A and B are shown apart, each in its own frame.
Chain A
Amino acid sequence: MNRDAPLVLGIETSCDETGIGIVRGRMLLSNTIASSMDEHARYGGVVPEVAARAHLEALQPSIDAAVAEAGVRLEDLDAIAVTSGPGLAGALMVGIGAAKALAVSLDKPLYAVNHLVGHIAADILTGEEVEYPTVALLVSGGHTSLLLVRDLVGDVELLGETMDDAAGEAFDKIARILGLPYPGGPEIDRAAAAGDPNAIRFPRGLSRASDMAEHRYDFSFSGLKTAVARWTEQAERDGADLPVADVAASFREAVVDVLVTKALDACARHDVPRLLLGGGVIANRRLREVALERAAAAGVAVRIPPLSLCTDNGAMIAALAAELIRSGRPASTLGFGADSTLPVTEIQVAAPV
């Protein structure tokens, strides 16, 4: 195997995107994504069984498309990589079944890796020099996590995560309250464009002084959701026209504020002048704006990979495996399963002892 620049195919099926990525070392050759988002739209959120069925349908055509785009042959691969968790168990299992069979079929090593650490690895594919340690803020419909990365393949620490909804879920739920379609993120963004972010002072979850001991870097969005619902119901009772733009802008501001404040607090407290953003919610323009503005003021350099590498994708899974190979890690054994709550400290799963 080429240990310096291994050719790796990554399979990612932890949520509603079927991602197949191919990398050669740190070079991205294909980032093929099939999303079942449209199928979930009428349910207002990701339905696990619908996602799992869609993965099974999309896998083979996506692998074909990725291999064609990368201009490689499957037999040329140095390794296969797959997400073991965290994520939706039934969805993960489709990718794991396929990845194991592909590895056995081709007689290639298989690397089972952590989805969240994969998000961090995506940054490597930008072609720029990536420095560690860095704080990483990963925000999507499935997770909201704040991590301290000292070494991508050896030392990732969870500083905090959401105690209830993921930030992306909060956007979906508020969109529903405001009568906007799914997915909520872009809809709230659109509605908020004409709104005043300071019109309504919505609560910032887990940001009181009393939260700092136990939950300094944790997030909670359920109180915010309730506050928005209360506010809109009150407005309805008062017979006033709901100022959708102001509600959307103020809600978004509350989410963005708490995310950026906690991330920069982590940078300061751990003396790390670098912040990496990842996850689908990074598509939110206001989040990027506020993060860049306040990080600059705090002397923190922000890295934001292209959006196609921020949303769930197989390239980040392949990139993480390629880094594991470069650092000399042996392949995973074949006995692992889906771990829907895989802790971020387990960067590689089923590594031989």
Chain B
Amino acid sequence: MGATTLEGVILGIDTSLGTAVAVVDSDGAVRAEAQSANPLGHAEVIGTLLADALRDAARGPIGSTAAPAPVELTHVAAGMGPGPFTGLRVGIAAARAFALGRGLPVVPVPSHDAAALAILLADPFADLPRFAVVTDARRREFAYTVYDGLDDDGLPIRATEPALVPQVDLDDRLAALGAVRRDVTAIPAAMIALAAARAVAAGRTLAEGEPLYLRAPDVTLPGAPKKVTG
């Protein structure tokens, strides 16, 4: 990993699958985590999860006996998808608004990068073969991103950008790419925050500021008005 480290505390938010919120130190120490696995209801739970995570983070590390003190956040990291649009937007809107309220920068992170980081850090000494993070994209499609281990900044190396594939074609596609399939059903917000911390420390940008929709809006252009008489 690179020599630069960032002194900071990052709030991570992701709603690309369930709803996940975490407060993480830039060295990766998790101060608080709160999540809902429900693939719906993001707008309902996001406020409570944010409030819970901030309250828990204020209590300090487990076992701490000091009086709670609000954490001084330095960044807000937003999971940018891919994911079902309606839910995905709730987290991005929340991240932006939260950052606005505190005058903090927003760090966009591809949600699959966080899942890949979790997989790669689960056993740092394992020599993982090339793998693909695979998430449900609904409408009989999967979203996938292929990764090749960690780079010197401690960030997952993307071998492909996030893309959609019909469910029936996924295994052939991954075989062609030489990637092992890793199905993911939850994006850890702590890994969103950690990826953001590492990106900021390295002066890198992981994603553009816009959501990774991967699909155009579902609309049909109107034809001529329908006849009402025969």
Do residues B101 and A106 form an inter-chain contact, with CB atoms below 8 A?
A: yes
Task: Kindly state whether residue A103 has any CB partner on chain B within 8 Å.
Answer: yes
Partner of A97, one of B43, B218, B227: B43
Contact pattern, B 178-221, Cβ under 8 Å of A = 1, otherwise 0? 00000000000000000000000000000000110100011111
What are some 26 contacts across the A-B interface (CB < 8 A)? Answer: A42-B221, A43-B219, A47-B217, A53-B89, A53-B213, A56-B93, A64-B100, A89-B86, A90-B89, A93-B43, A93-B89, A95-B93, A97-B43, A97-B91, A97-B93, A100-B43, A101-B46, A104-B47, A104-B54, A104-B98, A110-B47, A176-B222, A176-B225, A230-B228, A334-B51, A335-B47
Partner of A60, one of B54, B89, B96: B96
**How many contacts A-B (CB < 8 Å)?**
136
Task: Kindly state whether residue B23 has any CB partner on chain A within 8 Å.
Answer: no
- Taking CB atoms, residues of chain B closer than 8 Å to A336 are 44
Do residues A74 and B101 form an inter-chain contact, with CB atoms below 8 A?
A: yes
- Taking CB atoms, residues of chain A closer than 8 Å to B102 are 105-106
- Taking CB atoms, residues of chain A closer than 8 Å to B210 are 57
- In chain A, positions 16-55 with a C-beta closer than 8 Å to chain B are 42-45, 47, 49-50, 52-53, 55
- Taking CB atoms, residues of chain A closer than 8 Å to B225 are 173, 176-177, 229
* B interface residues, tally (CB under 8 Å): 42
Task: Kindly state whether residue B95 has any CB partner on chain A within 8 Å.
Answer: yes
Which chain B residue lies CB-closest to A84? B43
Task: Kindly state whether residue B116 has any CB partner on chain A within 8 Å.
Answer: no
- Known contacts being A94-B90, A230-B228, A334-B48, is A102 close to B217, with CB within 8 Å? no
CB distance from B158 to the nearest CB of A (A): 24
Partner of A56, one of B211, B217, B218, B227: B211
Task: Kindly state whether residue B75 has any CB partner on chain A within 8 Å.
Answer: no
Which chain B residue lies CB-closest to A226? B228
A83 to B163, CA, bound (A): 34
Task: Kindly state whether residue B17 has any CB partner on chain A within 8 Å.
Answer: no
- Known contacts being A49-B217, A337-B44, is A94 close to B50, with CB within 8 Å? no
- Known contacts being A44-B222, A94-B90, A110-B47, is A49 close to B101, with CB within 8 Å? no
Task: Kindly state whether residue B28 has any CB partner on chain A within 8 Å.
Answer: no
Do residues A97 and B100 form an inter-chain contact, with CB atoms below 8 A?
A: no
Task: Provide the main secondary structure of the chain B interface.
Answer: helix
**Chain B residues in contact with chain A, CB under 8 A?**
13, 15, 41-48, 50-51, 54, 85-86, 89-102, 210-211, 213, 217-222, 225, 227-229
Contact pattern, A 136-178, Cβ under 8 Å of B = 1, otherwise 0? 0000000000000000000000000000000000000100110
Do residues B100 and A74 form an inter-chain contact, with CB atoms below 8 A?
A: yes
Task: Kindly state whether residue A59 has any CB partner on chain B within 8 Å.
Answer: yes
Contact pattern, A 226-257, Cβ under 8 Å of B = 1, otherwise 0? 10011001100000000000000000000000
